[in-house]
Amino acid sequence: MKLIIVDDEKGVCFALEELFKSAGYDVVSVLNGEEALLSIREGSFDIAIIDYQLPGMNGISLLKEIKAVSSSTEVIIMTGFGSEKISVEAIKNGAFDFIAKPFNNEEIINRVSHVRDKINAQTIHNDGLGYYFSQSMKQVIDTVKTVAIIDTPILITGDSGTGKELLAKAAHMYSGRKGRFIPVNCGAIPQTLIESEFFGAEKGAYTGAGGLKKGFFELAENGTIFLDEIGEMPLELQVKILRVLQESEITRVGSGVPIKINARIIAATNKDLEKEIAEKLFREDLYYRLNVVRIRTKSLSERRDEIEPLSEIFLKEYAVKYQKKITGFTRDLMTQMINHTWNGNIRELKNKIENAVIFCKDDIISSLYLQLDMTSHTENTTNVNKLYDFLNLPDNITQAKRIIVEEFEQAFIMYHLEQNGNNVRNTADRIGLSRQDLYKKIKGFSK
């Protein structure tokens, strides 16, 4: 559950951040409304706790803006003593609750856990766990719901970008387990750190080790550990994981004492594990341990009927994120999209739509903005190559310069957004703009 705290007093931010972290929330705190809006736009927060008195913007205006950017984020407003009027106004404007300062830890934790319960009850269907329209995917998600409550391992297979991680999260969510969901990319952990990352380390167990370090299994206690890309797991580690599965215990580096663990294991891969076994790259005994319940996600070409409804949902989400008024796709483009081979599956579909939304200047997306047969459409949609095509420029040098600069900026930003997987924060850092300025420029592309 993701939480954002907005208060201009650093001390309050710090104290609340610590409090909610220890209660198991994912917490971020910021000191003003503008930062809050930027983070919320990017981070899909479930809950925002905001102070009424903020520099430059009062809590009610911030509340309204948060609701405009992310209607599903629930807001709790912290008000000063004796501010009934404000509280009433807050609720009228869509706040979930308010809390009068000063309050104690227990009070605020209680208030927030009410919101959490409400969100948990309603999220299952729409928020974050994906949308399933086709008969075949509805069956898949039904299976996930059924097996979620038993503690056996689950193995999820399917092509890249088909939603394996999302299903793993859904299984965690439906399991009702109180602990955390810990995703681990099994191929990406350096050899030398494997032991301590997975099993933890005692204080001073190795050079550089500061205090006690909990490993992934301990972090996932009473929750779920998601072993992603299990096909990439080195053989030495496979042996160790097998032992954990057999004995339900781990031993921290530098300790001789085994610790009992209770973490649900879900593994995923886009590799053909049977083939890996034949080639002696994957242990057969581990495979049998993991392959108790097997779920296969379908590629987009096996569920073309989902392309249109998914595209519309993604379009809506990105139109809100980038504050654009775009209402749909041209029929022609949608037909192409339905027939396209999406090798990167849903991830690719999402990225293409996000990119199109960023650069779309019309109220409907056509193949001008979303091109299917090219990996990059950077060259095509801009005039940068035609920098010297004076015929198409106005004669007035100031006007001509302005047009060239605008086109250059757009092409430049488009290129870097693509390079950074449309991540606005990273792109802004990379090209030396503030996130705010980058959002402004993107918004300006529609004019």
Residue with tokens 């004019």: 447
Whole-Å CA distances, 90 to 51, 54, 263: 12, 15, 41
Binding mask 292-331 for ligand ATP (x = CB under 6 A): ----------------------------------------
For the bound state, the minimum distance from the C-beta of residue 311 to ligand ATP, rounded and expressed in Å, comes to 11
x/- track of binding to ligand ATP for residues 238-267 (CB under 6 A): ------------------------------
Nearer to ligand ATP, 243 or 347 (CB): 347
Q: Site for ligand ATP (CB under 6 A): which residue of 43, 130, 153, 234?
A: 130
**Nearer residue to ligand ATP within complex by CB, 48 or 166:** 166
Q: Report 264-293 residues binding ligand ATP (CB under 6 A).
A: 270
98 residue type, one letter:
F
Q: How far is Cα 170 from Cα 158, in angstroms, rounded to an integer?
A: 16
354 binds ligand ATP (CB under 6 A): no
- Residue ranges that bind Mg ion, judged by CB under 5 A: 165
CB of 168 to ligand ATP, least distance (A): 8
In the complex, the smallest distance separating the C-beta of residue 169 from Mg ion, rounded to whole angstroms, is 11
Question: H/E element holding 109?
Answer: helix 105-126
Per 3-state DSSP, what percentage of the chain is helix, strand, and coil (rounded to 5)?
A: 50, 15, 35
Strand 74-79 and strand 154-157: the pairing is unpaired
Q: Which of 132, 217, 282, 318 binds ligand ATP (CB under 6 A)?
A: 132
By beta-carbon distance, which residue lies closest to ligand ATP?
163
Longest dimension (CA), the chain: 81
The interface mask with ligand ATP, positions 150-169, x = CB under 6 A, is --------x-xxxxxxx---
Residue for token pair 């989400």? 317
| Residue 440 CB, nearest approach to ligand ATP (Å) | 25
Nearer to Mg ion, 165 or 195 (CB): 165
Count the neighbouring beta carbons within 10 Å of the beta carbon of residue 339. Answer: 11
Picked from Mg ion, ligand ATP, none, the partner binding residue 347 (CB below 5 to 8 A depending on kind) is ligand ATP
45 touching ligand ATP, by CB under 6 A: no
Under rule CB under 6 A, residue 131 binds ligand ATP: yes
Q: Which residues pair with 49 in a beta bridge?
A: 5, 76
Least distance to ligand ATP, CB of residue 89, Å: 36
Residue nearest to Mg ion (CB): 165
Strand order in the sheet with 181-185: 181-185, 224-228, 264-269, 154-157, 293-296
How far apart (Å, rounded) are the C-alpha atoms in residues 157 and 140?
12
Cβ-proximal residues to 380 (8 Å cutoff; 6+ apart), any chain: 371, 374
In the complex with Mg ion, the residue whose CB is nearer, 20 or 226, is 226
Min dist. Cβ of residue 303 to ligand ATP (A) = 9
Those residues with Cβ within 8 angstroms of residue 370's Cβ, 6 or more apart along the chain or in another chain: 329, 333, 337, 352, 353, 355, 356
Give the count of residues interacting with ligand ATP (CB under 6 A): 15
Residue 26 parent element (H or E): strand 26-30
DSSP 81: T
d(CA 392, CA 369): 21
Which one, 40 or 170, has the nearer CB to ligand ATP?
170
CA–CA distance, 371 with 313 (Å, rounded to integer): 19
Residue 25 binds which entry of ligand ATP, Mg ion, none, CB below 5-8 Å type-dependent = none
Question: Which stretches of the chain bind ligand ATP, using CB under 6 A?
Answer: 130-132, 158, 160-166, 270, 346-347, 350
